[in-house]
């Protein structure tokens, strides 16, 4: 009987030891925590946060006293929903962006804000609307780098010091304009291209007229050159073999009438006709000016055409100039 009592006591002791060992093992397992390389552990002891966070690796806590929260330290890319706003020049636009941020102080990120991801999203939306209202449409389209820097500065002031979150970069993804504004911009760009095309064409014609005037000035000094030019034109026309060229009277007869008409006209009272050397020098100068590159920035940059200025009326004998009406 005594032996039986001893065996029962031994069995109870063994069971108690097994239970105690199980509880001890459970406590040890629950007190051992593993923190990943990209995480930091924030420990709350009896509800009070500890000033130092736990580094990556194996760490121990008191199961009944401590509670640890892990915070991810990786950079987060968060898309900002498209925001409708009115620019400074009263244009309705729709702008969306993307924000890159990371936690630099895990204690502040857990204690000072309830959900820092949602909080950063709201700050990004309000900051984007504020920047849209302070900028005009041209800045949103052409100066995006300046807008991105301003957005990052505004968000950093609201998140870094109080929440321990660093905004690394903010990028505007797309700027949507109304359809009416897009059509107006397309018409403006088309009109600008047409204006530049017309100015370039006019500049080319202006330079070509200079060369033609210089060539005519040189060819007028030698009648044979005019005859050779006429024959060359005839050859070019006859090369097509689909046209008939009729010359009813020789060119020499036209030249005779031209000389007779020139001899019958009186000389001008004012001015004198420049000689051959002066006209050749003037032609060379015009050709040099025509070869100079012209920068066409606007319609006001087109140079004036020489020779179109008002000349003094020629006085012919027997013909009175019209009188000016009294003022």
Q: What is the pLDDT tens value at each position of the chain, 327 positions in all?
A: 666 666 777 778 888 888 888 888 888 888 888 889 999 999 998 888 988 888 898 888 888 888 899 999 999 999 999 988 888 888 889 999 999 999 999 999 999 998 999 999 999 999 999 999 898 888 888 888 999 999 999 999 999 889 999 999 999 988 888 888 778 888 888 888 899 999 999 888 888 887 887 777 777 777 667 777 777 777 777 777 776 766 665 666 666 666 666 655 554 444 455 555 676 677 667 666 656 655 544 445 545 544 444 444 444 444 444 444 444
DSSP strand E in the chain: where?
32-35, 39-45, 48-49, 57-60, 66-72, 76-86, 92-103, 165-176
Distance CA 133, CA 91 (A): 10
The pLDDT, as a whole number, for residue 148 is 92
Collapsed DSSP state (helix, strand, coil) of residue 141 = helix
Distance CA 215, CA 156 (A): 71
Distance CA 321, CA 327 (A): 18
Q: Give per-residue burial for 1-30: e unless 16+ CB within 10 Å, then b.
A: eeeeeeeeeeeeeeeeeeeeeeeeeeeeee
* Residue 144, C-beta contacts closer than 8 angstroms, at least 6 positions apart: 172
Distance CA 135, CA 124 (A): 16
Q: What is the dihedral of CA 179, 182, 188, 192, to 10 degrees?
A: -150
Collapsed DSSP state (helix, strand, coil) of residue 306 = coil
The pLDDT, as a whole number, for residue 269 is 42
Radius of gyration of the chain (CA): 47
Output the CA torsion sign for 139, 143, 149, 151.
positive
Collapsed DSSP state (helix, strand, coil) of residue 42 = strand
The pLDDT, as a whole number, for residue 260 is 66
The pLDDT, as a whole number, for residue 188 is 85
Among 164, 160, 99, CA closest to 127:
99
Domain-by-domain residue ranges, the chain?
A: 2-36+50-69, 76-177, 183-262+277-291
The pLDDT, as a whole number, for residue 313 is 45
CB 135 within 8 A of CB 87: yes
Q: 76-177 in CATH: which number?
A: 3.30.479.30
């Amino acid at each position: 009987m005594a032996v039986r009592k001893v065996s029962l006591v031994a069995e109870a002791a063994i069971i108690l030891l097994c239970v105690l060992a199980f509880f001890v093992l459970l406590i040890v397992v629950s007190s051992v925590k593993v923190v990943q390389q990209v995480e930091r552990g924030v420990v709350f002891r009896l509800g009070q946060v500890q000033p130092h966070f736990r580094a990556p690796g194996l760490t121990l806590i008191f199961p009944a006293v401590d509670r640890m929260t892990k915070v991810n330290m990786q950079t987060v890319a968060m898309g900002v929903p498209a925001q409708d706003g009115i620019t400074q020049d009263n244009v309705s636009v729709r702008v969306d962006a993307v924000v890159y941020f990371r936690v630099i102080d895990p204690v502040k990120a857990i204690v000072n804000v309830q959900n820092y991801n949602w909080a950063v999203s709201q700050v990004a939306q309000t900051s984007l609307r504020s920047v849209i209202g302070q900028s005009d449409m041209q800045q949103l389209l052409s100066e995006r780098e300046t807008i991105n820097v301003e957005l990052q500065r505004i968000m950093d002031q609201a998140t870094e010091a109080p929440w321990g979150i660093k905004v690394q970069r903010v990028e505007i993804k797309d700027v949507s304009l109304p359809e009416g504004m897009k059509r107006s911009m397309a018409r403006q760009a088309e009109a600008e291209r047409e204006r530049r095309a017309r100015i370039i064409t006019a500049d080319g014609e202006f330079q070509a007229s200079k060369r033609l005037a210089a060539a005519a000035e040189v060819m007028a000094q030698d009648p044979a050159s005019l005859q050779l030019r006429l024959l060359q034109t005839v050859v070019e026309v006859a090369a097509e073999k689909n046209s008939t060229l009729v010359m009813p009277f020789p060119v020499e007869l036209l030249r005779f009438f031209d000389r007779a008409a020139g001899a019958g006209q009186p000389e001008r009272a004012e001015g004198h006709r420049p000689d051959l050397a002066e006209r050749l020098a003037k032609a060379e100068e015009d050709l040099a000016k025509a070869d100079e590159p012209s920068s066409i920035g606007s319609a006001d940059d087109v140079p004036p055409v020489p020779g179109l200025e008002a000349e003094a009326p020629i006085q012919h004998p027997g013909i009175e100039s019209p009188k000016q009406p009294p003022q």
